[in-house]
Amino acid sequence: MSSTEGAWIFLSHSTKDWEEVRRVRDLLEEKGHRPLVFFLKCLTDHSELDGLIRREIEARTWFLLCDSDNARSSSWVQAEVAYIKELPEKHHEQIDLNDPIQTQIERIDRLCKRVTVFVSHHRADEPF
């Protein structure tokens, strides 16, 4: 799969887990997807940040929720996860950053299978 064909996947994570999240981001990119990893340092007004994150979640379809002790202690991450889960048209998978990498890859692959579409068609219909 080329990088232009992959899905935009929003990664909900704690900034304290940056190294682990980078590894997850790299795995998604290797699979041809475009992970979104935000660290909005310029925003200090919490009401502005909350609205921005909500609008970004509303604009996306695919989410990977990166769970960890840091994520569970972050009110921002908990608010993101709760909002994502309450929107029925959003698709998400959750990984625990403390799990072995192979377990994380299996969960990532489960999400990637859902965002990948195979179009079956007759050869005569190929131009369409």
Span 24-42, pLDDT tens digits: 999 999 998 999 887 766 6
Residue 2: what pLDDT?
42
CB 65 within 8 A of CB 17: no
How much is the pTM?
Answer: 0.79
Sheet containing strand 34-36, strands side by side: 34-36, 8-12, 62-67, 91-96
